[in-house]
Amino acid sequence: MADVKSTFREVLPKQGQLSVEDVTTMVLCKPKLLPLKSMTLEKLEKMQQAAQDTLRQQEMAVKKNRKKPTD
């Protein structure tokens, strides 16, 4: 292998302080609460429930009309 020279030189200060921050620590953040159901899904469920209710009402009306005796 050939010797590869680095393009960056390491420079150490001759006076003053040298600080090294190699310690990584965990940073805790506020938990984010996600909704269990999205708003769109809730709207779709309401629309589906409303459609089922109207269908049931129509079926009940048809059954009542059939049960009525015609004289």
Residue 37: name the closest of 45, 29, 47 by CA. Answer: 45
Residue-wise pLDDT tens digits, 26-44: 888 888 887 788 889 999 9
Q: Is the pTM of this model over 0.85?
A: no
Q: Which residues contact 37 (CB under 8 A, 6 or more apart)?
A: 45
Instruction: Pick 53 or 33 by higher pLDDT.
Output: 53
Backbone φ and ψ for 13, nearest 5 degrees, come out as: -70, 145
H helical segments located in the chain: 39-67
On the question of pLDDT at 16 being above 60, the answer is yes
On the question of pLDDT at 45 being above 80, the answer is yes
